Amino acid sequence: MDTNNGSSTTDFILLGFSDRPQLERIISGLVFIFYIVTLVGNTTIILVSYLDAQLHTPMYFFLSNLSFLDLCYATSIIPQMLVNLWGPSRSITYGGCVLQFFFALDLGAAECLLLAVMAYDRYAAVCQPLHYTVIMHPQLCQKMVLTAWLGGLGSALILCSLTLKLPRCGHRDMDTFYCEMPALIKMACVYSKVMEIIVFALGVVFLLAPISLILISYGFITQAVVRIKSEARWRKVLNTCGSHLTIVTLFYGTAIYMYMKPQNSTSQDEGKFLSLFYTIITPTLNPLIYTLRNKDVKNAVKRIMCVGKWSAKS
């Protein structure tokens, strides 16, 4: 098999900011810190939601799934990114690239749907409080989460198979940090109108449709909040919904900007920084936003820690 600088001709080269090594050293340090925070934060939310009986509610069931998604998403990208940033080789095998590309699409699309499901949960809790437990029964919650996971899987299978069929004409260099769809499409040596239409259509299904449902849900929530007379309940609603809205803004804002605009209209450096924000910073901020703004999670952590200390003493 032919090789070039120790890499197979089927490997891809992830350039990143290789022309600016000082910047890459700073980025690698920040990425490592963010990854540790992502692991600790999201694992904490999953464990706390499972261990504390008071958090066995639909909201925290969905939040646990969101944290698991973020854990998988970050882990599918960041370790390989750090290996390339710290090591002499910037290559990734064809198989590794396909897996990274597939899981990024799968988990990203699933998160789009899951955030919409969480918005509906908030709508039911605020606008239909007396019927909330009947509406959001466990079987429905499980079906909604399963739909989000399967929807992400379906979109990933379609986009991954179509993108990898595009002829590359020997092109191996990707001006990015990981195998993502915009970089792979730019690397193709032909223009595919069909591919552009399918990407746009799936963007509508997985980005614009969920964000529209989220906005509709929060329209009803806003009407309900205005009528709330209890200041304590008003603050609790705003606290909970504020966390979800912040995450939605971060996630959808970047995703829509990346995937719904023409690929050739984004500068190379702008695309790289957007990729870093989308794949690293957002999964890190999600657990921080929910734990720092949510008294239920903080109180649950305190209860679990107190029980642990009491068990250790006894």
Q: What is the mean pLDDT of the chain?
A: 82
- Segment holding 60, helix H or strand E: helix 58-86
- Catalogue the E-assigned strands of the chain: 3-4, 7-8, 12-14, 91-92, 173-174
Q: How confident is the model over 101-121, as a mean pLDDT?
A: 92
pLDDT score of 280: 84
The CATH number of whichever domain residue 229 belongs to comes to 1.20.1070.10
pLDDT score of 183: 80
**Phi, psi (5° rounding) for residue 14?**
-95, 105
Domain range for 261 is: 8-301
pLDDT score of 147: 95
Confidence of residue 9 (pLDDT cuts 50, 70, 90): low
pLDDT score of 143: 96
60 in a domain, yes or no? yes
pLDDT at 5 > cutoff 50: no
pLDDT tens by residue, 162-206? 888 888 887 788 888 888 887 888 888 877 788 888 888 888 888
* 144: three-class secondary structure by DSSP: helix
Residue 281, token pair as written in the block? 């910073």
Query: Which of 253, 258, 246, 158 is closest to 211 using CA atoms?
Result: 253
313 in a domain, yes or no? no
312 in a domain, yes or no? no
Q: Are 152 and 114 in contact (CB under 8 A)?
A: no
307 in a domain, yes or no? no
> Which letter does DSSP use for residue 13 in this model?
E
What is the value of pTM for the model shown? 0.85
pLDDT at 93 > cutoff 50: yes
pLDDT at 250 > cutoff 70: yes
311 in a domain, yes or no? no
pLDDT tens by residue, 112-149? 999 999 999 999 988 888 899 999 999 999 999 999 99
Confidence of residue 6 (pLDDT cuts 50, 70, 90): very low
Q: How many structural domains is the chain composed of? A: 1
Query: Which of 95, 64, 217, 240 is closest to 160 using CA atoms?
Result: 95
Q: 12-14 and 173-174 as β-strands: parallel, antiparallel, unpaired? A: parallel
pLDDT score of 61: 94
